[in-house]
Amino acid sequence: MFQDYKSFIPDYSQFLSILNERLPTTAWFNPDQVSRDHLELFLKHFKSEYRFLDWNNEAFSYKSKVSLGVSLPYALGQIHIQEEVSMIPGYIAKGLKPQTVLDMCSSPGNKAAQIGIELKGDNSYIIANEPKLPRHSQLKSNLLRMKIPNVIYTKYDGASFPVLKDKVDLVYADVPCSCEGTSRKNKIKKLNQKELNKLTMTQKAILKRGFENLKPGGHIIYSTCTYNPLENESIISDFLNSEMGSDGELIPVNIDGLSYSCGIHNFNSHEFNKEVEKTIRVWPHQNNSGGFFIALIQKRAHGNH
């Protein structure tokens, strides 16, 4: 299934081999709700094997007969279960210390919860946008359980989300994608050309509308859980090459303790803007995780858009 990507996947045989292994359960804790010492007492009490992640000391992998999802710390909103790679955009967001956030594609609310616990004070808020109504109940239950304050729920197609008068400090564009990087837990369906074209148009439109909603100096984090360069580097490259792209700067992503590769320059007949090497690709065999792609773009202080 991933043969088309063989030329740019490092250690291809290791990549194929880890896809058959069980994906570890990972979670993070909210230090305002529970101390690390208390959390460890709980984890030991349940005789679990656990390990804090090398790159994120508020996150851990966990193995036990007792499921975290039915535990008291989970019910109390002290911990949240989330895949390791999916935590990266939220981890980057925390470092940017935004006051106002727009999450364009937010359900089930993992990344919204990660930044939501950092938003303190009356002037902070997060807009959690999700166009699919059936996905709102899980989004709301997660953000309520994690006690995220000042959440505004909206239901727009991200491509036509209104351009706000009060623009925001941070936008998450964690876009719908072909999800190839989740093959360790889900069955993946290969998209046909028509489906892929529709999806990439949506991804481009969400990125563009997200950027339009940024304050000068604000950041947008574009991410997918897929390998296809046409949903990753190609979207970022087209944005940078567009008129609006001249108001944005791709910021290199550096995460100590995490293994990853940088974005690729070409794929099949497509040549990408050289800047895309500042994006990152996380392969499953680099950290025993799922697969992910992340790009961080900052809006210039004196742009036109």
200 scored as a contact of ligand SAM (CB under 6 A) = no
Min dist CB 102 to ligand SAM, Å, is: 11
> What are the φ/ψ torsions at residue 70 (nearest 5 degrees)?
-115, 15
Report how many residues bind ligand SAM under the rule CB under 6 A: 20
* Strand duo 79-81 + 25-29: pairing: antiparallel
- 205-224 residues in contact with ligand SAM (CB under 6 A) are 206
Among 55, 154, 157, 230, binds ligand SAM (CB under 6 A): 157
Min dist CB 266 to ligand SAM, Å, is: 26
Apex 235 CA angle, 232 and 241, nearest 5: 135
- 113-132 residues in contact with ligand SAM (CB under 6 A) are 130-132
Type of residue found at 185: K
* Strand duo 168-174 + 214-224: pairing: parallel
280 Rama class: left (phi>0) / alpha (psi -120 to 50) / beta:
beta
Among 8, 19, 55, 135, binds ligand SAM (CB under 6 A): 135
By beta-carbon proximity to ligand SAM, the closer residue of 46 and 156 is 156
| CA distances in angstroms from 253 to 76, 95, 263, 269, 298, listed in the order given | 33, 11, 11, 26, 12
Min dist CB 193 to ligand SAM, Å, is: 19
Stretch that binds ligand SAM, among 6-14, 60-68, 91-99, 104-112 (CB under 6 A): 104-112
By beta-carbon proximity to ligand SAM, the closer residue of 43 and 113 is 113
Min dist CB 37 to ligand SAM, Å, is: 28
Among 202, 242, 266, 298, binds ligand SAM (CB under 6 A): 202
Tell me which H or E stretch contains 234: helix 233-241
SS3 197: helix
By beta-carbon proximity to ligand SAM, the closer residue of 43 and 191 is 191
The C-alpha atoms of residue 139 and residue 66 are separated, in whole angstroms, by: 24
The C-alpha atoms of residue 181 and residue 221 are separated, in whole angstroms, by: 18
| Residue ranges in contact with ligand SAM by CB under 6 A | 86, 104-111, 130-132, 135, 157-159, 174, 176, 202, 206
